[in-house]
């Protein structure tokens, strides 16, 4: 059955376009907004840091999924862009990115074919792998297209998600990968996603991560395998990168920041969800027009579903799909029905992936719509 009904994305982008030029206080809610000055400061701060230490920045685009922001990161000096999924790589290729790192094990003939096509069309493609099979499939597709790609061998440094767990196993994999056609092993990578929370604990753990990276790098070198690129990092550990052997940093969340990673610096969070109070019928409570379909249900170690800007005592303790329950019982003054509130989401990346467009705001006025062109591209 064919249908001509427009998609939700089409409708959302039309509605968002109508908001351009309005003061933030008059936008239709719920809506995700980006403060352009805060975003630019976050992008520049990290670029300045890496430039000062001779580290290449390869921002993970999963946070913003937006060509506009990815291209700005490249303009500021990023060495390339990181993606997880092939569909994201296609979006950033179409936007004009010339160096893309796919940091996710690609499996399946469709994916190998699509990635090989990206490389054949001129993108300098790098793929991080932790086993032979995905690389072998990709190598065969690349060879068919007359294209090449570079590979990073992924190490598990503590998250226990993907990655070889020892230097010896990483070396053995690198040696097998070196036999494949159309690919070159050029280094190692890791994702220290287990480093969260207490800054002192993060610093201690970064040392352990670095030990495994150095051991693996030395094992590669001793066996004549290239290890020019050592890719790593996350937002919580980003400013410790120069104390390690990592020479490519893949932070993503740093662009927006969020309630989980910003620590005491909530005011630096560039992404907010603007909501409206729609009910105060239950004593001690208000309800806002955003729930898990707008904010995500990603949690926070301290509980709650986001920080309400300017109302430290208001606790967004529960969300349903379209309702946010805020306990305001401890507040002398309370938001009233119709009041607009700004919520800093727990997890920027999950939140952005729920929105086809973000309202870009400067000096309190909607400047334009940032298209989240890679939204939902999980294939």
Ligand X SMILES: Cc1ncc(COP(=O)(O)O)c(C=O)c1O
> What is the distance of C-alpha 88 from the center of its chain?
11
Query: Taking the complex as a whole, how short is the minimal distance between the CB of residue 74 and ligand X, in angstroms?
Result: 17
Q: Which is nearer to ligand X, 134 or 335 (CB)?
A: 134
Q: Pick the binder of ligand X from 252, 291, 306, 335 (CB under 6 A).
A: 252
Q: In this chain, which stretch among 138-146, 173-181, 248-256, 295-303 interacts with ligand X, using CB under 6 A?
A: 248-256
> For ligand X, what does the binding mask look like between residues 56 and 75, x meaning CB under 6 A?
----x---------------
- With CB under 6 A, what is the number of residues at the site for ligand X? 11
Report yes or no: 171 and 225 within 8 Å, Cβ to Cβ: yes
CA dist list (Å): 298 to 24, 116, 178, 376 = 26, 34, 40, 16
Largest CA distance in the chain: 71
Q: Which of residues 167-226 bind ligand X (CB under 6 A)?
A: 191, 193
* Proportion of the chain in helix, strand, coil states, percent, rounded to 5: 35, 25, 40
Q: Pick the binder of ligand X from 99, 103, 111, 355 (CB under 6 A).
A: 103
Residue 148, both tokens: 């090449």
Q: Which is nearer to ligand X, 140 or 377 (CB)?
A: 377
Query: Taking the complex as a whole, how short is the minimal distance between the CB of residue 17 and ligand X, in angstroms?
Result: 29
Q: Pick the binder of ligand X from 99, 111, 250, 259 (CB under 6 A).
A: 250
Examine residue 306 and tell whether it contacts ligand X (CB under 6 A): no
> For ligand X, what does the binding mask look like between residues 311 and 350, x meaning CB under 6 A?
----------------------------------------
Q: Which is nearer to ligand X, 164 or 235 (CB)?
A: 235
Examine residue 253 and tell whether it contacts ligand X (CB under 6 A): yes
Q: Which is nearer to ligand X, 288 or 372 (CB)?
A: 372
Q: Pick the binder of ligand X from 234, 241, 296, 315 (CB under 6 A).
A: 234
Length of the chain: 379
Q: How far apart are CA 55 and CA 59, in angstroms?
A: 12
Q: In this chain, which stretch among 201-209, 244-252, 303-311, 321-329 interacts with ligand X, using CB under 6 A?
A: 244-252
Within 8 A by CB and 6+ apart from 109, the residues are: 137, 141
Q: Which is nearer to ligand X, 42 or 373 (CB)?
A: 42
Q: How far apart are CA 216 and CA 57, in angstroms?
A: 21
Query: Taking the complex as a whole, how short is the minimal distance between the CB of residue 211 and ligand X, in angstroms?
Result: 20
What angle do helix axes 36-53 and 67-76 make, rounded to 10 degrees?
40
3-class DSSP state for residue 115?
A: helix
Report yes or no: 30 and 276 within 8 Å, Cβ to Cβ: yes
Examine residue 375 and tell whether it contacts ligand X (CB under 6 A): no
Q: Pick the binder of ligand X from 251, 294, 346, 353 (CB under 6 A).
A: 251
Query: Taking the complex as a whole, how short is the minimal distance between the CB of residue 353 and ligand X, in angstroms?
Result: 12
What angle do helix axes 132-145 and 109-120 make, rounded to 10 degrees?
50
Within 8 A by CB and 6+ apart from 145, the residues are: 116, 117, 119, 120
Comparing CA positions, the residue from 230, 243, 83, 85 lying closest to residue 154 is 230
Q: Which is nearer to ligand X, 85 or 305 (CB)?
A: 85
Binding residues for ligand X, rule: CB under 6 A, are 60, 103, 191, 193, 234-235, 250-254
């Amino acid at each position: 059955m064919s249908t001509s009904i427009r998609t939700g994305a089409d409708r959302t982008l039309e509605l968002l376009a109508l908001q351009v030029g309005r003061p933030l206080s008059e936008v239709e809610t719920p809506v995700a907004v980006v403060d352009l000055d805060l975003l630019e400061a976050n992008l520049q701060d990290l670029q300045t840091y890496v430039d000062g230490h001779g580290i290449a920045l390869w921002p993970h685009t999963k946070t913003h999924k937006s060509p506009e922001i990815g291209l700005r990161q490249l303009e500021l000096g990023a060495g390339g862009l990181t993606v997880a999924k092939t569909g994201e790589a296609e979006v950033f290729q179409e936007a004009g990115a010339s160096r893309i790192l796919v940091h996710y094990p690609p499996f399946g003939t469709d994916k190998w074919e699509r990635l090989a096509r990206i490389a054949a069309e001129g993108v300098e493609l790098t793929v991080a792998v932790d086993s032979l099979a995905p690389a072998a499939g990709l190598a065969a597709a690349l060879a068919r297209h007359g294209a090449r790609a570079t590979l990073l061998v992924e190490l598990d440094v503590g998250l226990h998600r993907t990655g070889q767990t020892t230097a010896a196993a990483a070396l053995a994999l690198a040696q097998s990968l070196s036999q494949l056609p159309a690919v070159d092993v050029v280094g190692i990578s890791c994702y220290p996603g287990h480093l969260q929370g207490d800054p002192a604990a993060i610093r201690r753990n970064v040392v352990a991560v670095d030990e495994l990276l150095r051991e693996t790098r030395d094992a590669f070198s001793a066996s004549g395998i290239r290890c020019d690129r050592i890719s790593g990092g996350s937002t919580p550990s980003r400013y410790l990168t120069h104390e390690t052997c990592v020479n490519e940093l893949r932070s993503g969340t740093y662009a927006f920041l969020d309630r989980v990673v910003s620590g005491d610096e909530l005011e630096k969070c560039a992404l907010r969800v603007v909501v409206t109070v729609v009910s105060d019928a239950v004593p001690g409570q208000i309800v806002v027009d955003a729930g898990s379909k707008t904010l995500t249900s990603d949690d926070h170690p301290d509980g709650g579903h986001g920080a309400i800007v300017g109302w430290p005592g208001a606790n967004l303790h529960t969300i349903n799909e379209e309702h946010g329950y805020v306990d305001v019982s401890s507040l002398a003054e309370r938001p009233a029905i119709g009041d607009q509130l700004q919520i800093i989401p727990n997890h920027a990346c999950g939140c952005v992936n729920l929105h086809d467009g973000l309202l870009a705001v400067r000096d309190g006025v909607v400047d334009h719509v940032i298209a989240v062109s890679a939204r939902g591209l999980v294939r």
